[in-house]
Amino acid sequence: ERNPVVFVKLAPDADGLYRAVSVHAAPVAVTAPEVLIRGRVSYSCGSTGRIFCDRLTIRYGLESYFVPEGEGRKLEQARNQQKLRIVAAVLPSGRAAIKRLLLDGEPVYEEPWY
């Protein structure tokens, strides 16, 4: 299937950042503090055939965030330096949304509740 939906089990590492633990074609059970997030495979080294692939590019719908004009460059630079983090809310269905950005651990913007 082209761009299949997958479910990625995430678990916190020693720094409290959530990292991928496993990828599944259907939802699987998780136990706290694990989280199951839904995404779409956008690239796979096995996308042209049934070969083993140890790398997938998955889009979660968390790749874009709109900021006030003129402030994007600073955040892009922080992202490139791995200083930018996101806090996301994940529904039981696996769908996720960005709730706030953190720059060096401090909130930059916070999404409204509506």
Contact of 84 with 104, CB cutoff 8 Å: no
Produce one character per residue of 25-44: b if its CB has 16 or more CB atoms within 10 Å, e if not.
Answer: eeeeebeeeebbbbbebeeb
Round to whole Å and give the CA distance between 46 and 44: 5
State whether 43 and 90 are in the same domain. Answer: no
Give the Cβ contact number of residue 67 at 10 Å: 14
User: Residue 61: which residues within 8 A CB-CB, separation 6 or more?
Assistant: 39, 95, 96, 97
pLDDT band, residue 112 (cuts 50/70/90): low
State whether 27 and 69 are in the same domain. Answer: no
User: Which contiguous run of DSSP H or E holds residue 107?
Assistant: strand 106-110
Query: What is the number of domains present in the chain?
Result: 2
The reported pTM is 0.80
Of the residues 40, 60, 80, the one at which a domain ends:
60
Give per-residue pLDDT as tens, 24-58.
Answer: 999 999 999 999 999 999 876 655 555 666 678 89
Contact of 7 with 37, CB cutoff 8 Å: yes
According to DSSP, the residues that pair with 11 across neighbouring strands are 19
Domain of residue 56 covers 1-60
